[in-house]
Structure 1
Amino acid sequence: MAMSSTMRRADGSLVEVDHKRPTDAAFGVVFFNGLGSPPEEWAWVREYLPEHAACVGYNRPGHGLSSPLPGATLEEQFQIVDELRGHYLEGLPVVLVGHSLGGYLAAAYAESRGGAGLSHVVMVDPTIITDLKAFAGTLPDSWARQHLLLESLWAATGLNVLRPIGAFSEHYADEVKSRLIEYHALPRTWTTSYREYMAARSYPPVQRLAVPLQVATATKGTNIAKHRASQERMLKLSDRSWHHVYEDATHIGIVAEQTHAKQLAELIVPGSWE
């Protein structure tokens, strides 16, 4: 069973962590959340992992109980992951799994560390940084920014507790659903997400990975051909890469719906897909 706690860093700041390490752990998993999502978004995926999997989910700076880190660089974000690995997953081969913006962060972290101690990367409907840069100033970019600001305003009024984000509330068990509603009711969630979104537009694209790569793409509700082609570009990051397309999954549903979560869990287990 996963435990929620905080990890205190050398400077006294906190990182909120959702972790589990069984005594017979054979490998570790670090989950990178999507924009505006807490570790609970991985609840069903974790449920379908084998008992010998050690898992670490965490809130990035400014989210949940994690201390803010204004203007945090990518390297500062990656140092947190280094500390999480050292504290909770020492001695284990580690799988990096990220959804949406977290998919980019997982791959970028793997590239920055040269694959040391890593098993493979799983990018789940990842944000494509080159696309994000190309969208800057366009209508989709404007809509995304307005959405985050409006969610922050809605949370500040306290009314979004009565109108939780439907894509989340539909799929999870009641206990997880309640935690998600509480998380999304915090204005801080959305103001931090807005800052993350703006920062991501200046992130460098990932160039090359030294480890295998799994890319899982959700196409429901998208321009299928365009979205699939964009995601397929990620396959060039590794000499060993696989693409899995889920035509009946939405961007949120690919992690939130049990059927898809089970399929993602199979991609996470080392050696199960080779």
Structure 2
Amino acid sequence: MISDQMQMVGRLLGNYQGHGRNRARSGATAYMGEERMPTVRTLSLERKVAIGVAALAVSSWAIGARTRFVGRRRRTAEFSTMPRVDGGVVEVDYRRSPDAEFGVIFCNGLGFPHEQWAWVREHLPESAACVGYNRPGHGLSSPLPEATLEEQFQIVDELRKYYLDGLPVVLVGHSLGGYLAAAYAESRGDAGLSHVVMIDPTVIADLQAIVGKLPHAWARQHLLLESVWAATGLNALRPIGAFHGLYPGEVSSSITEYHALPRTWITAYREYLTASTYPPVERLTVPLHVVTALKGTKAAKHRASQEQLLELSDRSWHHLYEEANHIGILAEQTHAKELAELIVPGSWI
């Protein structure tokens, strides 16, 4: 009897405890279910900044890579190359009609391709056989890291023979190209040369005077930074504003693609350092035009420096452009048309 009663009590207690355990499990399940409810988490400011910077870096790199790819393909399709004896090539953009009466060789400014002459060429007559080229290491031209001044002259010799044989030649240069045009004319005398047009040229004596000083260091740093921007793709996102929108769309895009190449700026850096070792031009036996852009400069000082170049030739003229800057002098159509008139032999006499 007692054992039967004990078994009954045990069953009752077991049922009660089981019910309690079920309730406990049920409560725990409900509580745990509340813990599993989705919560909204916010990113810290540092993480947001890091994600933004990473996204910008990836996107700019991708845009830069695409810009370089498109640029190489466009340049290869649109421009030709002149083979050289050493196995290298020089990128060339030229035209010559059967009735050509004179030739023009354009020498580019530091860090710019031959497309910078687009407007000037546009306003030259059909009687002008035009040759634009990229110096070694620029565009499709083979690199020549230790190019001497005489090696630069040899390229011009080859261009004359290959494209302009038999024509009197006008040498036209901008910035560093202005110096190279005059230096070439000095080294070759007046053999087959008509005249020289220096457009806001680099004055080698002025460049040598700042070596080791802050302006020289800043110029070097600027060129190195441009190569970094090009490598990261930022040059494609931020094209040089001084010419942007002034040239036709295709020309502007081509120059932007050219500037998106890190090698453009590394080569320009080497050219800048080498230029400080060049000898100043002393004397020309052909007529000379010096064109000076005054906007954005210390006008009086810049003008005085450029005026000294008039002493290079007994027949020289100085043309001042107060509303043109160093790059805009070629990029703005109005100025380019006037420059074209200086290039045509006899039109300025």
Using the size of structure 1 for normalisation, the TM-score is 0.98
How far residue 170 of structure 1 moved from its aligned partner, in angstroms, is 2.8
Report the CA distance between 1:140 and its aligned residue: 1.4
Deviations 1:205-229 (A, max 9, x none): 0000010000000000111110000
Query: 2:327 — aligned with what?
Result: 252
Post-superposition shift, 1:47?
Answer: 0.4
Report what 2:265 is aligned to: 190
Match of 2:248 in 1: 173
Provide structure 1 residue ranges, at least 5 long, that are not aligned to the other structure. Answer: none
- Could you tell me how far 1:181 is from its partner in structure 2? 0.6
Alpha-carbon distance between aligned partners in 1 of 2:247 and 2:320, rounded to the nearest angstrom: 22
Residues in 1 aligned to 2:87 and 2:243: alpha-carbon distance in whole angstroms = 33
Of Structure 1 and Structure 2, the greater strand share is in 1
Aligned runs of 1:71-110 on 2, under 5 Å?
71-110=146-185
| 1:132 maps to 2:207 | yes
| Equivalent residue for 1:123, pick from 198, 216, 223 | 198
Q: Please, what TM-score do these two structures have when normalized by structure 2?
A: 0.77
Of the candidates 134, 137, 147, which is equivalent to residue 222 of structure 2?
A: 147
Provide, for residues 163-222 of structure 1, a one-character-per-residue CA deviation record: whole Å limited to 9, x for no partner: 111112131000101100110000000000000000000000000001000000000011
**In the alignment, which of 63, 69, 75 is matched to residue 144 of structure 2?**
69
The higher radius of gyration belongs to 2
Aligned to 2:239: 164
- Could you tell me whether the CA contact under 8 Å between 2:145 and 2:267 is conserved in 1? no
Aligned counterpart for 2:296 among listed residues 198, 221, 225 = 221
Matched residue SS, 1:169: coil
Secondary structure of the 1:215 match is strand
Q: In the alignment, residue 63 of structure 1 is paired with which amino acid? A: H
On the 8 A contact 1:168/1:180 being kept in 2, the answer is no
Identity over aligned pairs, percent: 76
Specify the code of the residue in structure 2 equivalent to 1:81.
Answer: V
Which residue of the other structure, out of 318, 338, 342, is the alignment partner of 1:243?
318
The offset of 1:44, in angstroms, is: 0.3
Residue in structure 2 matched with residue 264 of structure 1 by the alignment: 339
Counterpart of 1:263, as a letter, is E
The residue identity in structure 1 corresponding to 2:267 is T
* Contact kept in structure 1, 2:80 and 2:92, CA below 8 Å: yes
Aligned residues: 272
Counterparts of 1:13 and 1:183, CA distance in 2:
20
Work out whether residues 45 and 264 of structure 1, in 8 Å CA contact, stay in contact via their aligned partners in 2.
yes
Q: Which runs of 5+ in 2 are unaligned?
A: 1-77
CA distance in 1, matches of 2:255, 2:276: 26
In the alignment, the residues of structure 2 paired with residue 199 and residue 25 of structure 1 have an alpha-carbon distance, to the nearest angstrom, of 36
Q: Which of residues 100, 114, 138 in structure 1 aligns to 2:189? A: 114
Deviation at 1:52, TM superposition (A): 1.0
SS in 1 for 2:268: helix
Q: Which secondary structure does the structure 1 equivalent of 2:198 belong to?
A: strand
Task: Tell me, in whole angstroms, the C-alpha distance in 2 between the residues paired with 1:32 and 1:257.
Answer: 18
**Alignment pair present for 1:209 and 2:292:** no
- Alignment correspondent of 2:71: none
Aligned equivalent of 2:86: 11
Once the two structures are superposed, what CA deviation does each residue of 1:224-244 show, in whole Å capped at 9, x if it has no partner? 110000000000000000000
Moved over 6 A (4+): none
Give 3-state SS (helix, strand or coil) of 1:41's partner. helix
Greater shift in the superposed pair: 65-74 or 184-193: 65-74
Secondary structure of the residue that 2:91 maps to in structure 1?
strand
Q: 2:120 aligns with which of 45, 62, 74?
A: 45
Residue 273 of structure 1 corresponds to: 348
